[in-house]
Structure formats: C-alpha cells, structure tokens
Structure 1
Amino acid sequence: MINATYKKMLEGKSIIRELSEYATARGKEIGYENVFDYSLGNPSVPCPKGYTDTVINMYQNNDPMSIHGYSPSLGIEDVREAVADSLKSRFDVPYEAKHIFMAIGAAGALAHAFRLVTEPGDEIIVFAPFFPEYTEYIGRTGAVMKVVPPSTKDFQINFDAFVDIINEKTMAVLINTPNNPTGIVYSEETIKRLAEILYAKQEEYGHDIFLISDEPYREIVFDGKVCPYPAKYYDNTLTCYSFSKSLSLPGERIGYVAVNPKATDSDILAVIMGQISRGIGHNCPSSTSQLAVAQVLGETSDLSVYETNMNILYDALTEMGFEVVRPGGTFYIFPKALEEDANAFCSKAKKYDLILVPADNFGCPGYFRMAYCIDTEKVRRSIAAFKRFVSEEYHK
C-alpha cells in the first residue's frame, strides 16, 4: 500500500518548483532568454576557480579511496577541524572539530538539528515569512511548527507576537538570516533581544531552548555590512550552514551543523547527530565535496552580481509604486502585490512571461518573492515587461 500522507502531498507540490517547471516549458516555446524566470533560488555565478582546481588535482593525484570511499558518519576529521578553525577565526567562537557535524547541505543540517533537540509533540517556533519547506522539514519529525506573524514594516522579528507564542512546549526557535524570502538581515539589536528572551524563558521553564540558525546566505550581504553571527549572542545555538550559495555549489549538497561550545552537552551533540543519521539516511556526505570545500573556506564566488541585480529591481519596483523593504542580502526581494490576492497577481504576470512566486506558502499572503539570481542583462530587460504588466493590468 502506498503511504497516504506522501501521496496526499502530490496535491500541494512546491509552488516554486511548479513555476520553475512552467518557466522551463515556456522557454522551449519562445526561448528561455525571453522568459523572466524569478522562481528558483539557484545560484547564477560560477564556483571559485580554487574549488574546481582543487577537485581536479584531487582526482588526478589523491588515493581513490580517500575521495570515493565512505566518509566517517560525523564527517572527515581534518575537514571538521578546518571548519572549526575557520569559524573560530571569523567569529571568535571557540569551536573544535568535535563541535562540527558535516551534513548533506542545509536541509540535511536542519534535519539533524530538529531531531537533536525535540521529541514528537514538542514545538519549534519559526518567524514568517519563512522558507516553505520548513513546514515539511519540521512536520516529518513529529514536532509542531508554530508561526510568529510578520512585522511587514521591516521584517525584523515581531517580538510582541513571539512572546505570546513561546511556551513550555517550545524546545527550539528557528531563524533564517539573511532571510529567504525577504532578503532582510536581522540586526544585532534583533539578535540580542531574541537571546535575552530565550535566556529568560529557559530559566522560567526550567529546560533548554535551542536556537537553530539557518545560514546558507551568510556571505551574501550588501552595502559593505556583515551579518551578525547569532551563536555569539546565545549559548544554545546550532548553526546550520550550506556552501550552496557562498561557493555556488548547490548540486554538491555539502554543509554542516556547528554546535556552540557553550551549549548544553556540546561535546556529544555531534556524536548524537551521527546516531540520528542512522534513522533518516542523511549520512556520509560526499568525500570529494568535504575535502574540496576545506581547501577554500576563505573564498566565495563573485557574489557582487546579486547586489547589482537587487539595486536594479529595488529602484524599478519602487518607481512603479510597489511597497518593498530593501533587502540587506541574499538574492531575493519581497514586494507587496498590487492586489490582495498575490496568487491572482502572479498568474496575471505570467501573461508577460514574468515568473513570480506568491507568498501564501511563505506565511505572508499578499506578497510575492523574486529570486534575482539571473543574468543582469536579463534583469534589465525584465523591467520593460514589468512596466507593461503594471500599466495594462493595474493602470499605474
């Protein structure tokens, strides 16, 4: 018998993937260069040459077993040590190899973190708008996802609503900064206030509350700023990271969980995650990918194109009358639709070959997301289509 739960999921497939598939099909009809596809957050810049050179050198010179064999369940020891040293140097948090668990991308990192600190029935708080797959990631653990409504004026944390929702069943709080879908970077003030509340609630409830920080966009920050590192402000922090965006390696599926050395039981949490792997199959990330990223931990792809694209879109959208909070990072922008029903708005946009993602599944109806990780030339050409769309459909 087919599992009814997963069969039921076919009725509500990812809107992002559906739109991406539509864009691909439309591209076969009119040429993909004529489809302004803002659906899928797939990095559009090449990975650093240093990564490619490292992989080529490894394949030519290394022992085949070291690059093709199973990695240890917690990750390759030298890689874990390199990651710990890099984080310690960058953020002044005293990580050691024992605090690092290598994972299959950020999704794999989150899968372990959720199971590490919750039992079925426990609650994990997330802040809207949020990446829609969090609903499935959390729901499949048996934990319950509680959503804090957004503060749409700036998309920082809505603390009044948060304090109303947190309770004795709360075992973890999930944040994503820089944020998908808004592009907002949580300020240091926001992180500090969140930490203060969590410390107070831990004492009030008499149990740990873990902060799970999902940080795949950490290096994509604009205006010369730096994203605050949440683990510096709160001891019980699990940092979930992927190299997908910083090194443009989404297909390599490589990331990690970094356990704050001051967290409860910090010396054994990575070992416990190794046991979690036995139950969920997210184990033994690619040896090649681990060894290669360890050689380029100080590098990123040329991420400057994302800021260029953001500025083009932000200026054009505001000029056309859209309400939009200026992104501080990532490669997403999150305007308010020109009508209450963002699904209807995005459906109308398809007539102009503009592929936009309505934000109902992000927990923020009435808004839409644009993933502008596309060629700048294409971003510029899309503005004319946007202006026609707004003029003809909304008379603006």
Structure 2
Amino acid sequence: MVSESMAALGKKRSTIREIFEYGNRRAAEVGRDNVFDFSLGNPNVPAPDSVRRAIEELAEADPVAAHGYTSAQGDAEVRRTLAESINRRFGAAYTGDCLYLTAGAAAALSAVFKALTCPGDEFILFAPYFPEYVCFLESGAGAKCVVVPPCETDFQIDFDALEARLSPRTKGVVVNSPNNPSGAVYSEKTLRRLAGLLRAKEAEYGHPIYLISDEPYREIVYDGAAVPFLPALYADTIVCYSYSKSLSLPGERIGYVLVPPEAADAGDLYAAVCGAGRVLGYVCAPSLFQRVAAKCAGETADLSVYEENRRLLYEGLTACGFSCVKPGGAFYMFPRSLEPDDVAFCERAKKYDLLLVPGADFGAPGHVRISYCVKTETIRRALPLFEKLAAEYR
C-alpha cells in the first residue's frame, strides 16, 4: 500500500500543469506557433547577460565548489551578500543569519508552513490565490486553509470578510503582492490596515500571527506602483522570495526565506525553518545558483516586455467585451469568463487553441487566468482569436 493522499496528488497534477502538457501535445500536432499557450508563468525574456557571465566565472574559477554542497541554510558569504542587498534596497539591517536559501519560492513556502504549523492551526488565504498554497499547507504541513473570498471589483482585501475568519486558531496570513493570478498590488495604506488588524488580534489572542509574504513578482510592477516592504510595517512578517521571475530563472530553483530578528520567537522560528528543510529533504539550495544570485543581486531581466504585453492584451480583451481589472503588477490577467462556468469557457477556448486556466482553481470561479509572459507577437496573433471566441457569446 502507498499513501492514498499522495497517490491522488501524483495522479492529478495541477490544472495549470495539465493545460501546459496539453499544449505540448497539441503543438506536436499543429505546430508550436499555432498554439497560444497562456497557461504557465514561465518568463519569456532571457536572463540578463550578467547571469551567463557569473555562471562562466564561477564554473571556471572553482568547478568543485560551484557544484558542491554548501551549508544547509546556504553558503555564508552568499547569505551575507544577499542580506546586504536587501539592506540597501529597503533600509534594513539584516545579517546573513536571517536568510535560509531555498530551491525557489515553493520550497521557501513549504519550509515556512512546516516550521509554523502545530496541530489545529489555520492559515488565511486571500482569493484569488496560487493553488499550490493549499497543497503546501494541507498535505505538506497538516494545517487548515481558511479562504477570504475575492473582492472582485479590484481584488484588494475585504477586511470585513477577513476579520470574520480570524480566530484564536489563526497561525498565519499569506499575502502575495503583486498577485498571481490577478496582478493586484496591495497599497501601503491597505497593508498598514492589515498590520493594524493583525496586531490587535495578536493582543486579543495572546499569540503571534505571522504574515507570510510570497514575493516572486516584487520587481514586476507598472504605472509607478510601489510594493511596500512588509517587515517595515509588521514585525511578525516572514518573506519568501524567488529569483525565478526577476532574473528569469524559473528552472534553476533559487530563492530564500527571510526571518527578521524583530519577528516573534525569531531564533526558534529560524531554527524551525532549518528543521523543516531537513525533514523535507532540502539538503541545500542549488549551490551554483546560490552564487549566481549573489553576483547578480539587485539586477533584473528586461521586465519592460511585460508592460507592453499587458497594454496590448488589456486593450484587446476589453475592446472585444471582456471585463477585466487592469493588473498593477506580475504578468497575469484575470478577466471574467464569458459564461458562469469558467471550466466550460476554457474548454471552448481550446477550439481556437487558446489555452487559459479556469479561475476556480484560484478560489475565484467565473474568471480565467491569462499568463502574458509570452512573445509580444504571440499576443498580437492571439487577439483576433479572442475576438472570435467572444463573438460566440454575443
């Protein structure tokens, strides 16, 4: 016998991945250029040239060290360098001992959830949310997810709904800004209100409520938007970061957990993250790309491509009748589906080889996610197909 729950997860991959694999099969039939795959958040812009140079320098200088083990929490010099970069950007005073390097944001989140969860603990998710949060929390950590419904006019926080769901069992609140899948960016005013509410509930319940900030899209914002640095607003914040989007390195799996010393029980919390990594089998983050991240700290790929893609897609979709909140960041659009059943709508879109992801998977049925980290020409060629799809509903 095997674990039934694990077998079920293995037999049914995430909907996003299923659509991506369908796209690969379809591309083999009709040609890659004839499939308009908007399913996966896979950056289409290349990594900056500094990444290539860093890889070459590191591999040539000491190939054994470049590919060898590091300390479980990450190479000490890398962690120091990354902490200094964070300090310069956000006016902080962290040391390398505040950072635990991970195989991307997924490993960072999994380690944090595992580190925090005690029997009976609950975590708040704001819909729409990244679907794997539920897998990481419930199947990975044994916690319970409590979902705050979406505020569909702007995808900001519904504070009345949040307050109704907070309880003495609440261990953490997960925020993702810029958001996958809506592209919403929480303002400083919103986050200060959230911090104030959580501080009041901490005092009422007599225990910390951790704010887990999932930040892989931090650098991808538009129209002059700013992403506030949450530890500066709320002491009990844990940051989970990934270089997958900023440096266009999703397949290299490199990120970190930041445990600020101001957070409640920070020493034990950091130790618990390390322990969780040990239990989960995270021997160390990829050593070569630890050092690449340190050499390229503060740099980004050419993110301006996403801004042009956003403009084209938003103008094109709204012109043919889609209702959509204009995203302030990330590289996703989350329009309403043109029929109440978003799954059926995505199936109909396949007739035009438009591959979209149903909003139900993100806790927001009646919407679809469109990932626009694709070639700009792909969007131009897809817009007439969106128009044909929309015409079926008129």
TM-score of the superposition, structure 2-length normalised?
A: 0.98
Aligned ranges for residues 230-379 of structure 1 at < 5 Å? 230-379=230-379
Gap runs ≥5 in structure 1: none
Q: Which deviates more from structure 2 when the two are superposed, residues 365-374 or residues 107-116?
A: 107-116
CA RMSD of aligned residues (A): 1.1
C-alpha separation in 1, matches of 2:246 and 2:184: 17
Q: Which residue of 1 aligns with 2:188?
A: 188
1:257 maps to amino acid: V
C-alpha displacement at 1:115, in angstroms?
1.8
C-alpha displacement at 1:173, in angstroms?
0.5
Contact 1:132 1:361 in 2 (8 A): yes
SS of corresponding position for 1:340: coil
Gap runs ≥5 in structure 2: none
C-alpha separation in 1, matches of 2:198 and 2:266: 18
C-alpha separation in 2, matches of 1:258 and 1:212: 10
C-alpha displacement at 1:269, in angstroms?
3.1
Deviations 1:46-79 (A, max 9, x none): 11110110111111122x3321211101111011
C-alpha displacement at 1:225, in angstroms?
2.3
C-alpha separation in 2, matches of 1:257 and 1:283: 15
- Number of aligned residues: 393
Contact 1:51 1:292 in 2 (8 A): yes
1:359 maps to amino acid: G
Contact 2:115 2:275 in 1 (8 A): no
- Does 1:135 pair with 2:156? no
C-alpha separation in 1, matches of 2:114 and 2:210: 12
C-alpha separation in 1, matches of 2:279 and 2:45: 36
Q: Which residue of 1 aligns with 2:226?
A: 226
C-alpha separation in 2, matches of 1:228 and 1:182: 18
Q: Which residue of 2 aligns with 1:47?
A: 47
SS of corresponding position for 1:294: helix
C-alpha separation in 2, matches of 1:223 and 1:256: 28
C-alpha displacement at 1:10, in angstroms?
4.8
Contact 1:74 1:271 in 2 (8 A): no
C-alpha displacement at 1:274, in angstroms?
1.7
SS of corresponding position for 1:389: helix
Q: Which residue of 1 aligns with 2:67?
A: 68
C-alpha displacement at 1:283, in angstroms?
2.9
Contact 1:93 1:260 in 2 (8 A): no
Q: Which residue of 1 aligns with 2:85?
A: 86
C-alpha displacement at 1:27, in angstroms?
0.9
C-alpha separation in 2, matches of 1:310 and 1:122: 39
Contact 1:120 1:141 in 2 (8 A): no
Contact 2:54 2:295 in 1 (8 A): yes
1:148 maps to amino acid: V
Contact 1:74 1:270 in 2 (8 A): no
C-alpha separation in 2, matches of 1:296 and 1:157: 34
SS of corresponding position for 1:246: coil
C-alpha separation in 2, matches of 1:173 and 1:52: 37
Tell me: CA distance 1:60–1:36, structure 2 relative to 1, closer, same or farther (3 Å).
same
Q: Which deviates more from structure 2 when the two are superposed, residues 370-379 or residues 64-73?
A: 64-73
Q: Which residue of 2 aligns with 1:198?
A: 198
* Misfit runs of 4+, over 3 Å: none
C-alpha separation in 2, matches of 1:41 and 1:186: 20
